[in-house]
Amino acid sequence: MNKVDPSYQPLTTDMLAIRLGKIDALTTLLGTDTSTWTSKEVGDGNLNLVFIVQSDQGSVIVKQALPYVRLVGDSWPLPLRRSYFEYHALIRQDKRAPDTVPEVYYFDETQAIIVMEYFNSHVILRQSMMAGKTHSGLAETLGLYCARTLFRGSDLSMNTANRKADMALFANSVELCDITETLVFSDPYFNAERNHHTPQLDALVATLRSDVDLKVEAHHLKAKFCNNAETMLHGDLHTGSVMVSDTETKVIDPEFALYGPMGFDIGMLLANFWMAYFAQPGHAEAPGARVAYQEWILGVVDEIWTIFSTEFSRLWREERTGILYEKTLFEDQGHALASEQALSHRLNDIWQDTLGFAGVEIIRRTLSLAHIAENETIENDELRADCEARGLKLGRALVVNRTRMNSMASVHDLARVIAVEAKE
């Protein structure tokens, strides 16, 4: 099932127009005269080839999976099928949250190629936040995206036969799931081979790895991730999977899509904002120069959660067409308040999951294989360790105390205390 088809060939800039020049989906956008096409390989990610292909008529992104992890090389094989899962996730996300993900123009399963919309005036949000830039509409788009994709991919909304078939489809994504199961939930909690961390964190890392409550709770969250197939997740929704322009926000790269708990996507997203918050002193033009920006970040997080829960509630009231909490049993029986009671319980569950998964994400991004650019680009080890340590303290608190933190205000009060406290 994971064998590479003999006809599979990685694309090159030289051969791209020759290989794709007869495909209607491309010629419609770029014109049939392939001599006017230019292509540039821009894949800065860890896994794939990514080309921007342009002509005077238009532009597209051509993304092709490689049969191994690009970051590591062919010693770490990774199936081309991830392209299949990304394709299936993208077309579902586009229906569920229109105008937030790239439109797919063409998919070749054997070559693991997706041709999709190019966002030519957008940059990766993570880069933009390192530069201290603000973006209007960011929280609104992300909050709506989360509410709509998570609600509409679940048994709250879908025909359940279709949801079961989708769950079965994404259950085949064993290798990508394994990366999350291992790197996110297990490696950080012991001295795993692929781990690395800033040496100045040694003492704190030892403390965290001997923290029994943290480990047990992180593993309860892993069990929830592995077993609680609530909805189709993006699966890798960090600020490197978000593109922004002055006016638009887009979500990309859902190759880790799977069925899992709603709080996983939101938690990973918020965690990356919180890490960016703690990393700001590492990027400040002068001491204190990023204090206002840090507050902007917390404001975005606050708004994402508010927009998410407002939109989720609207969808609950207006689009609850699935087999769960059926309107025939609630509103139609004069029990609209029971439906509100159930909604409130479910939002509370999602909230607690969100905090827990956020904490897990912060910890793994500091102790496991894949770190974040905000921290990696801080050259001074002491300063980087200081930013990372503050993140870890919030992360630990979120995982262990997630059922006892009842509002974003209380989370952000804690974040501010951690941000200003003296180094220990």
> Footprint of a copy of itself on this chain (CB under 8 A)?
154-155, 160-161, 164-165, 167-169, 171-172, 174, 177-178, 181, 186, 189-190, 209, 212-213, 215-216, 219-220, 222-223, 226-230, 323-326, 328-330, 332-333, 335, 337-338, 341-342, 345-346
304 closest CA partner among 279, 345, 267: 267
Query: Considering the complex, what minimum distance in angstroms separates the CB of residue 342 from a copy of itself?
Result: 5
Query: Considering the complex, what minimum distance in angstroms separates the CB of residue 155 from a copy of itself?
Result: 5
Q: Specify whether the CB–CB gap between 252 and 288 falls below 8 A.
A: no
Choice between 178 and 381, CB closer to a copy of itself: 178
Query: Considering the complex, what minimum distance in angstroms separates the CB of residue 328 from a copy of itself?
Result: 7
**Distance in angstroms (rounded) separating the CA atoms of residues 26 and 158:** 33
Choice between 203 and 417, CB closer to a copy of itself: 203
Choice between 133 and 327, CB closer to a copy of itself: 327
Query: Considering the complex, what minimum distance in angstroms separates the CB of residue 66 from a copy of itself?
Result: 22
The full length of the chain comes to 424
**Distance in angstroms (rounded) separating the CA atoms of residues 301 and 221:** 22
Query: Considering the complex, what minimum distance in angstroms separates the CB of residue 325 from a copy of itself?
Result: 5
Choice between 108 and 326, CB closer to a copy of itself: 326
38 closest CA partner among 53, 58, 21, 23: 53
Query: Considering the complex, what minimum distance in angstroms separates the CB of residue 191 from a copy of itself?
Result: 9
**Distance in angstroms (rounded) separating the CA atoms of residues 280 and 132:** 8
Residue 180 carries which DSSP code?
Answer: I
Residue 114: what are its φ and ψ, rounded to 5°?
Answer: -115, 125
Angle at 211 between CA 210 and CA 215, to 5 degrees: 105
Q: Specify whether the CB–CB gap between 261 and 185 falls below 8 A.
A: no
Residue 68 is encoded by which pair of tokens? 């191994």
Residue 110 is encoded by which pair of tokens? 């054997």
Choice between 47 and 177, CB closer to a copy of itself: 177
In angstroms, the first-to-last Cα distance of the chain is 52
Residue 172 is encoded by which pair of tokens? 């085949």
**Distance in angstroms (rounded) separating the CA atoms of residues 275 and 193:** 24
Amino acid at position 117, single letter: E
Query: Considering the complex, what minimum distance in angstroms separates the CB of residue 412 from a copy of itself?
Result: 29
Query: Considering the complex, what minimum distance in angstroms separates the CB of residue 414 from a copy of itself?
Result: 24
Residue 194 is encoded by which pair of tokens? 């692929």
Residue 290 carries which DSSP code?
Answer: T
Choice between 59 and 228, CB closer to a copy of itself: 228
Choice between 70 and 219, CB closer to a copy of itself: 219
Amino acid at position 177, single letter: C
Q: Specify whether the CB–CB gap between 79 and 103 falls below 8 A.
A: no
Query: Considering the complex, what minimum distance in angstroms separates the CB of residue 312 from a copy of itself?
Result: 15
Helix (H, G, I), strand (E, B) or coil at 137: coil
Q: Specify whether the CB–CB gap between 18 and 120 falls below 8 A.
A: no
Choice between 161 and 420, CB closer to a copy of itself: 161
Choice between 2 and 9, CB closer to a copy of itself: 2
Residue 248 is encoded by which pair of tokens? 């638009």
Query: Considering the complex, what minimum distance in angstroms separates the CB of residue 156 from a copy of itself?
Result: 9
